[in-house]
Chains A and B, each alone.
Chain A
Amino acid sequence: MLESLSSITFLLMNGLIWGLIVALIALGLSLIFGVMGIVNMAHGDLYMIGAVVTFYVVSLFGNFWLALLAAPLLMALIAAPMERFVLRPYEGNPSLTMIATVGISFIVQTAALAVYGGIPQKIPNPWPVNFNLLGVSYPGYRFLIALISIFILIGIWLFLYRTNYGILIRASMQDRDMANAMGINVNRILITTFVLGAALAVVGGVLAAPIYQVSYLMGNDVILLCFIVVIIGGLGSLEGTLVAALGICALEGVLAHFLSPTRARAAIFVVMVIVLMLRPQGLFGEKER
């Protein structure tokens, strides 16, 4: 009894920490959809870029934390033209943006295969300290990730809810035409939002790199989970995304104790179906958008 209780607590903790990383990535996805109407199928590949950049930064400079700065900056250089020249004509038309971003996804993946190669690489643990978590020696780095993620999430929340620019972004999210009519430079908001969303995915990739290894296909798994999270949370709802990311990952962790972890993964889809049956707009979504 005590053993299974400690096992559940362990899996719950582990799930929550992964949930925080997923929250970062999915928040970017949700923000981009909410403000711009872009269903970003390449979001998982932006996450992969974060991890690949981390690999190069660590091999060249030997410093992991440098990647946390370098990767989002590099992403900004890629994401801004991507929004302006590829996606701008299709914004607000989700099905067209899906096709455009699938194209981007192919290009990014194949470029990574050509440059980085098909062999997954390991990144040395940036903080090789282990804690004894309920009888399991638990890597301290994962706690650190959780902390960093919480800081970034708080930062994003402050930015969106406590700064003028954040208010402008949220205004464009609620009603783009009205925001435009009020004299807000919506085009600038669009670029900023896309870069911010992409940067969140990239930071997720940097943080996940030492846990999840670096491979050019690593985005494929994450993108699925992020879509589930965004759909359950309610399309375009930021708080919904956060709650759903933590909830889903924690639930998957706990279910892994009772079912096999493989079935726990499948169970998440069942949860999604049930949520969509009861609340088609998602947990925090509004009925009509």
Chain B
Amino acid sequence: MKRSALIVLAVVVSLAAGLLLMQPQALSQSKDPIKIGMIADSTGGLAAYGYSHEKVLRAAIKKINSEGGISGRPIELFVEDTESKPPVGALKFRKLVESNGVSFVIDSNSSGVAIACAPIAKELKTPYFPCAGATEISGENGNRYVFQPCTNVRQEAKGVVKFAVEKIGKKWVTVVVNYAWGWSNEKEFTQFITEAGGQVLTSIRVPLGTGDWLPYLAGKIPKEAEAVYFANFGSDFLSFIRDLHAVRPDIKKLGAVYAISAQDVAKLGEAAEGLYCIAPYPTRYEGLKADFNKAYRDMISVDAEGVEVGTGKRFVLAYNWAVWESMFLLKAGIEKSGWKSNKDTPKLIEALEGMSFKQGIEFPQGEGYVRKEDHLSQVGLYIEQIRRGTIDVVARIPPEAVVYAPEKDHSKEAF
């Protein structure tokens, strides 16, 4: 009798203990982290961009996690290096989804990587937010799982031509690096500047990584040309402006997005003075004075001049705002659709299609919306100019000025 009571007691106690032990697990079921993958260009030609993109995404996730996560669930980030190469990026995309079990993938600044990953996103039914500028990412190479949260080349060219014709000149020469991004710039700028009443006299293409631009420029720029539209960055840009200055010191210059990012323009001297550049996000705090911009720059530890706090190096302030905004777009989508697991992904995509956002700490670049048809974010632009060795914002292009008719309607595709 005593013995059986003891047994009953033991069973009750162990059941209770079991329940107690199980409790936290059962509770944490709803607190399972949301796994997000990032393919960053940590090494290779775009290493500087990959570094800044990763830092910005980590800052965004830190902010979200410290405020309680998304729907009470923390975010867990998995990062892989694309080596700035499309085949490597595609492989890493697959690895993140299949081995790490991520539900979403963000980034690569390389349009080549983004285009290589787009069909894999569809195959693995994983929403993908590349932060790269090729028009094709939301156009012919896009699909229902791919979102382009940054501006693309066509938006940039369309947005800038009015300013270009009115404030810079009518007779243009284009000089671009000889690969997809350069070709898009040449094609789109030529088309839109012609529609705006301008004219492109010559188009020059130069291989990526060219140190000596003189052979490409000397004797190749017609005398009547008033201005050059150029698409290059990094070392190409440095050599280009120096050699252009030697050939035609008087010619006006307008750079495609990115050209002057991370450059210490004070060191560029006379050759870069007066140069205009398309900027999706102002380099200096001065260009967008607002509390949320101050807070954003603090969180990614970049000072008012665009220098990284701690390292003293110039920070690439270019499409990394799109990495930040991708994360908050995703957060808004998850909250709106009630996404819990991958089976809810179609609901999430439907929630994102057409979603609009207001300027603030989550969307510091400006107001806009995700266009339903091609998943391209519709946001405005800035035009910056190098004046007396510093970068000033000289014009703001509103979102409606960059709009073009969507090439594709991904929202009609089945999931």
A-side residues, CB < 8 A to B, are 3, 7, 10-11, 14, 18, 110, 113, 117-120, 122, 124, 130, 135-139, 208, 211-218, 220-221, 253, 256, 260-262, 265
In the complex, are the beta carbons of B214 and A14 less than 8 A apart?
yes
CB neighbours (8 Å) of B262 from chain A are 119
In the complex, are the beta carbons of A118 and B212 less than 8 A apart?
no
Q: Which of B46, B48, B235, B314 contacts A212 (CB 8 A)?
A: B235
Least Cβ distance of A79 to chain B in Å?
24
Q: Which of B51, B218, B235 contacts A120 (CB 8 A)?
A: B235
In the complex, residue of chain A having the shortest beta-carbon distance to the beta carbon of B249: A137
Q: With an 8 A cutoff between CB atoms, is B357 at the interface? A: no
CB neighbours (8 Å) of A7 from chain B are 218-219
Answer whether A262 and B178 are a contact pair too, CB < 8 Å, given A3-B219, A117-B313, A119-B262.
Answer: yes
B-side residues, CB < 8 A to A, are 43-51, 178, 205-207, 209, 211-212, 214-216, 218-219, 234-235, 238-239, 246-247, 249, 262, 267-268, 313-314, 316
In the complex, residue of chain B having the shortest beta-carbon distance to the beta carbon of A252: B215
Answer whether A119 and B313 are a contact pair too, CB < 8 Å, given A136-B214, A212-B235, A213-B238.
Answer: yes
In the complex, residue of chain A having the shortest beta-carbon distance to the beta carbon of B209: A221
Answer whether A14 and B246 are a contact pair too, CB < 8 Å, given A113-B47, A217-B44.
Answer: no
A130→B249 CA distance, assembly (Å): 13
A136→B216 CA distance, assembly (Å): 13
CB neighbours (8 Å) of A217 from chain B are 44-45, 209
A220→B43 CA distance, assembly (Å): 14
Least Cβ distance of B248 to chain A in Å?
10
CB neighbours (8 Å) of B214 from chain A are 14, 136, 138
Least Cβ distance of A178 to chain B in Å?
43
Q: Which of A3, A18, A122, A215 contacts B268 (CB 8 A)?
A: A122
In the complex, are the beta carbons of B267 and A122 less than 8 A apart?
yes
Answer whether A215 and B234 are a contact pair too, CB < 8 Å, given A117-B313, A130-B246, A262-B205.
Answer: yes
In the complex, residue of chain A having the shortest beta-carbon distance to the beta carbon of B237: A120
In the complex, are the beta carbons of A14 and B314 less than 8 A apart?
no
Least Cβ distance of A189 to chain B in Å?
35
In the complex, residue of chain A having the shortest beta-carbon distance to the beta carbon of B211: A212
A262→B212 CA distance, assembly (Å): 12
Answer whether A136 and B247 are a contact pair too, CB < 8 Å, given A122-B268, A217-B45, A262-B178.
Answer: yes
In the complex, are the beta carbons of A265 and B207 less than 8 A apart?
yes
In the complex, are the beta carbons of B215 and A261 less than 8 A apart?
yes
Other contacts beyond A117-B313, A119-B314: 16, CB < 8 A: A7-B218, A14-B214, A113-B47, A117-B47, A117-B48, A118-B48, A120-B234, A136-B214, A138-B214, A214-B235, A216-B47, A218-B211, A260-B205, A261-B206, A262-B178, A265-B207
In the complex, are the beta carbons of B267 and A256 less than 8 A apart?
no
A260→B210 CA distance, assembly (Å): 14
CB neighbours (8 Å) of B249 from chain A are 137
In the complex, are the beta carbons of B247 and A211 less than 8 A apart?
no
In the complex, are the beta carbons of B48 and A124 less than 8 A apart?
no
CB neighbours (8 Å) of B316 from chain A are 119
Least Cβ distance of B213 to chain A in Å?
9
In the complex, are the beta carbons of B212 and A211 less than 8 A apart?
yes
CB neighbours (8 Å) of B205 from chain A are 260, 262
In the complex, are the beta carbons of B235 and A213 less than 8 A apart?
yes
In the complex, are the beta carbons of A262 and B238 less than 8 A apart?
no
A124→B266 CA distance, assembly (Å): 12
CB neighbours (8 Å) of B43 from chain A are 110, 113
In the complex, are the beta carbons of B235 and A218 less than 8 A apart?
yes
CB neighbours (8 Å) of B218 from chain A are 7, 10-11, 136
CB neighbours (8 Å) of A124 from chain B are 267
A215→B236 CA distance, assembly (Å): 10
